[in-house]
């Protein structure tokens, strides 16, 4: 019996290492072989620069990222890191969306109450001038009034005359020389460390206490309605 060998027509498409039909072409000599075999063993052609395990290791080393360099988008850890960063950013944004409006709202509310308290002190100052100049008591003594007297003569509204308005406690009375001096004070009912107290007198200047300090006390007012040394005029 005679055996006859015939060349396979698809031999060019077969890997000479494992005979798999999937091939890869060597960049050095053009030999085709299976891609995994090429990566593991290198080119099968003797003398080719791409042959041997050392060449295969060099090729694999060239595809690895260098230390300190950013991982490629294909790296499996890269999407995970991006996802973790996005989750952290989302958590910060959600927390800020919940906390910031409350903080901003509290600050705006406090400033609104302070502005209203200053406006009430200006109202008291105007009422004191009208009370004295018009002799509202009709006793022929041109002197200043208490807060209650300003309310009785309808120079201030009844709420302000009661001594509590806009979250503040108001105190107003003539000083040692009632024909020439008076003082008024607005102290916050809520002892918020950041909320300020305010003071006004016959000189027409409004003072405030520094945030974080205790509220103003009537005992700190001088005999002629002088403000305490620690109080600061508005605008300074």
Same domain, 114 and 206: yes
Which one has a higher pLDDT value, 159 or 6?
159
Do the domain assignments include residue 7?
Answer: no
CATH code of the domain covering residue 114: 3.30.540
Same domain, 110 and 207: yes
Tens digits of residue pLDDT in 213-228: 888 999 999 999 999 9
Do the domain assignments include residue 28?
Answer: yes
Which one has a higher pLDDT value, 46 or 15?
46
Same domain, 110 and 26: no
Residue-averaged pLDDT of the chain: 78
Please indicate, yes or no, whether the overall pTM of this predicted structure exceeds 0.75: no
pLDDT at 74 over 50: no
Per the structure, how many domains does the chain have? 2
CB proximity list for 140: less than 8 A, separation 6 or greater: none
Same domain, 28 and 136: no
Query: What CA–CA distance (Å, rounded) separates 57 from 52?
Result: 9
- Residue 137 burial class via C-beta count within 10 angstroms: exposed 0-12, middle 13-18, buried 19 and up: middle
Same domain, 44 and 122: no
Do the domain assignments include residue 155?
Answer: yes
Do the domain assignments include residue 68?
Answer: no
In order of 45, 67, 193, the CA distances from 118 in angstroms are 95, 64, 18
Q: What is the pLDDT of residue 104?
A: 53
Residue range(s) defining the domain that contains residue 58:
12-62
Tens digits of residue pLDDT in 97-115: 555 555 455 567 778 889 9
Which one has a higher pLDDT value, 70 or 178?
178
Same domain, 227 and 137: yes
SS3 53: helix
Q: What is the pLDDT of residue 21?
A: 60
Provide the pLDDT confidence category of residue 190 given band limits of 50, 70 and 90: confident
Same domain, 147 and 203: yes
Same domain, 118 and 210: yes
Which is nearest to 164 in space by CA: 146, 182, 188?
Answer: 188
Do the domain assignments include residue 53?
Answer: yes
Phi then psi for residue 207, to 5 deg, are -110, 160
């Amino acid at each position: 019996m005679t055996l006859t060998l015939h060349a396979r027509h698809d031999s060019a498409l077969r890997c000479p290492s494992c005979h798999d039909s999937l091939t890869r072409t060597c960049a050095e000599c053009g030999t085709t072989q299976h891609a995994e075999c090429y990566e593991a063993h290198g080119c099968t052609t003797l003398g080719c620069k791409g042959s041997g395990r050392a060449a295969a290791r060099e090729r694999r080393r060239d595809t690895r990222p260098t230390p300190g360099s950013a991982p490629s988008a294909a790296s499996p850890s890269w999407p995970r890191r991006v996802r973790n960063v996005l989750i952290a950013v989302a958590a910060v944004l959600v927390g800020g969306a919940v906390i910031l409006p409350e903080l901003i709202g509290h600050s705006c509310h406090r400033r609104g109450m302070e502005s209203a308290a200053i406006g009430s002190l200006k109202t008291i100052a105007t009422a004191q001038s009208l009370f004295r100049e018009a002799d509202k008591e009709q006793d022929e003594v041109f002197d200043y009034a208490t807060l209650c007297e300003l309310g009785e003569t309808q120079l201030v509204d009844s709420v302000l005359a009661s001594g509590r308005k806009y979250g503040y406690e108001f105190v107003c009375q003539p000083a040692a020389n009632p024909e020439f001096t008076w003082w008024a004070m607005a102290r916050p009912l809520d002892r918020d460390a950041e909320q300020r107290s305010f003071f006004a007198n016959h000189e027409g200047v409004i003072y405030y206490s520094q945030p974080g300090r205790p509220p103003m006390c009537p005992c700190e007012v001088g005999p002629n309605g002088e403000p305490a040394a620690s109080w600061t005029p508005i605008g300074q």
